[in-house]
Structure 1
Amino acid sequence: MMLRLVERVAAAERVDGVLCLPFDLRQKSRFRTRLTDGTEVGVFLDRGHILRDGDCLRAECGRLIRVEAAEESVSTVRSADARQLARVCYHLGNRHVPLQVGDGFARYRHDHVLDAMVQGLGLAVVCEEAPFEPEAGAYGGGHSHAHDHDHGSHEHGHHH
């Protein structure tokens, strides 16, 4: 019988299982998958929120399941030069790329076209397998997409 995960709860020290998911699945509110121990689960959550590494979910039967960010194919850019790293983040953000920003690094889903752009800006790119935890920003829960700035005469597509 499938375990039904239906509620997001506060992080707990004692958990009954682990759900390891890539970012694409952590953005969804309804899907089927398996816990790391092979138990089949169905996720049935309210829409509009992203599951983050360390979040806990409660099953209908009361079991608590911890969410872990899965390792996935990412490109990581490192630099001690904050200005140069900020330029890279600006150009990636201008392309609406989900972006993880940390001390001295930026990370995005691996994409050879973006890698070439970053290299053109003067930084090296390392392709690796790592957990991907992008900034909430426009990809965070409850985003209404209301703008209080002028877009001028240009248009850009927004996909929700």
Structure 2
Amino acid sequence: MLTVSAHLPAAEVAQEFFATVTLEAGERRLRRRSLRLSTGEDILLDFPATITLDDGDGLELSDGRLVGIKAAREPLYEVTGKNQAHLVRLAWHIGNRHLPAQLEGERLLIRRDHVIREMLVGLGARVCDVEAPFSPEHGAYHGHSHGTENHALRLQR
């Protein structure tokens, strides 16, 4: 089985992907895992610490080929407010419940949960069902391979 030798942030990918792997948000946070590529091949990812793979990132294989990461479409709620101040208030209520959320300029994306939907509607939000790639904001204490260092994570073998 081929192994992953490096993780490259999307901004540092300089070559074409020979294959891709599509993963949901929860599946893109990993340390050691076997992944099935779009070609049907399996690869082994085994990093020294947990990382989060983002849409467009690359995984360099031991043979030099590059695999692309695709964020899977997931069933989500699109949450919008009456204005920016209202949206910030809605975001606070979501965060107060420790729910993963993708923060965008005019909307929030969260996983579907009928109880949370009722709460948000009760607070005056507009909540719509959508299917989209989900890249929730990471917590303040979340270790992320991209960090302030802007280089590929390479494995020492």
AA partner of residue 3 (structure 1): L
Segments of 4+ moved more than 4 angstroms? none
- Compare 65-74 and 28-37 and name the one that shifted more: 28-37
Q: TM-score of the superposition, structure 1-length normalised?
A: 0.79
| 1:81-119 CA-partner distances (Å, limit 9, x unpaired) | 111111110011111111101120001111112111111
Alignment partner of 1:7 is 2:6: yes
Change (3 A) 1:84 1:58: same
**Partner of residue 120, structure 2:** 118
Contact 1:54 1:68 in 2 (8 A): yes
Alignment partner of 1:58 is 2:57: no
Aligned residues: 142
- Compare 58-67 and 10-19 and name the one that shifted more: 10-19
Specify which structure has the bigger relative contact order, considering alpha-carbon pairs within 8 angstroms and separated by 6 or more residues: 2
Alignment partner of 1:36 is 2:38: yes
- Compare 94-103 and 42-51 and name the one that shifted more: 42-51
SS of 2:137 mapped into structure 1? coil
Identity of aligned residues (%): 35
- RMSD, aligned α-carbons: 1.9
Change (3 A) 1:135 1:108: same
Partners of 2:51 and 2:6 in 1: CA distance: 12
**Partner of residue 48, structure 2:** 46
Compare the two structures and name the one with the higher strand fraction.
2
Change (3 A) 1:30 1:72: same
Partners of 2:141 and 2:40 in 1: CA distance: 29
- Compare 67-76 and 46-55 and name the one that shifted more: 46-55
Contact 1:50 1:140 in 2 (8 A): no
Partners of 1:126 and 1:111 in 2: CA distance: 12
| 1:14-38 CA-partner distances (Å, limit 9, x unpaired) | 2221111101110112112311232
Q: TM-score of the superposition, structure 2-length normalised?
A: 0.81
SS of 1:133 mapped into structure 2? coil
